[in-house]
Amino acid sequence: MTTTDHSSQATTIEADPQLPLIRMTRDFRATPAQLVRAHTDPEIFARWVGPHSVSTRIDHWDARTGGSYRYVNVRGDEEHAFHGCFHEVSDHRLVQTFTCEGYPEGVSLDTMTFEELGGGVTRMHAQSLVDSIEGRDAMLASGMEVGVDEGYATLDALLADGAV
C-alpha cells in the first residue's frame, strides 16, 4: 500500500496494489452539510475544484440522485472536460461516476462519505474504483494529487471565510 501526504491538511491518497481502487482521506474544519454543499453546488464547486492553474466552467449540473454533470477545466487555450452521473446524493454520502473525456474508457465509480469527528471537524472518506490496475495507475500518474491538494486548500479557505 502506498500512502502519500501531500498537504499540510494531510490529504492521504492510498492505492492498494491488489485492487483498482484509490482511497483518499482528509479532515476539514466543516460540517458534513458544508462538505456536501461544496461538492454539489455548482457555483461553489467551480470556485475550488482542481489545481490553482485552472478555472472551471460548469456546462451542466444536476446534483440529485439520478442527475448528471459536465464541467470543463480551462488553462489558457487548453480545456479538459469531465462528466458523470450522480447515483446517490444524501446528507452524508455522495456516489457518482467520473469520466475524463480525453480518456472515455477510464470511468470511475466514486463514493464519498462524511464522518463528524466532533469539535467542528469532519473527515471525508473518498474512494474511486476504476476498471483496471493500469487505469488506476494512470489516474495516479495524471497529476491528480496536485488538483486534490490545491483544490482542497482553496476549499479550506472558502470554508474559513464562511463562503460555504
Task: Tell me the CATH number at 123.
Answer: 3.30.530.20
Average pLDDT over residues 120-132: 96
Query: Residue 8 — very low, low, confident or very high, per pLDDT cuts 50/70/90?
Result: very low
> Which DSSP string do the residues of the chain spell out, in sequence order?
-EEEE-STT--EEEE-TTSSEEEEEEEESS-HHHHHHHHH-HHHHHHHSS-TT-EEEEEEE--STT-EEEEEEEETTEEEEEEEEEEEE-SSEEEEEEEETTSTT--EEEEEEEEEEETTEEEEEEEEE-S-HHHHHHHHHTTHHHHHHHHHHHHHHHHHTT--
Residue-averaged pLDDT of the chain? 92
Mean pLDDT, range 8-30, rounded to an integer:
90
Residue 114: pLDDT over 50: yes
Range of the domain at 85: 2-160
55-91 confidence digits (pLDDT tens): 999 999 999 999 999 999 999 999 999 999 999 999 9
Q: What is the pLDDT of residues 144-159, one digit of tens each?
A: 889 999 999 999 999 9
State residue 80's pLDDT score: 94
* 1 pLDDT more than 60: no
Structural domains in the chain (count) = 1
pLDDT of residue 9: 65
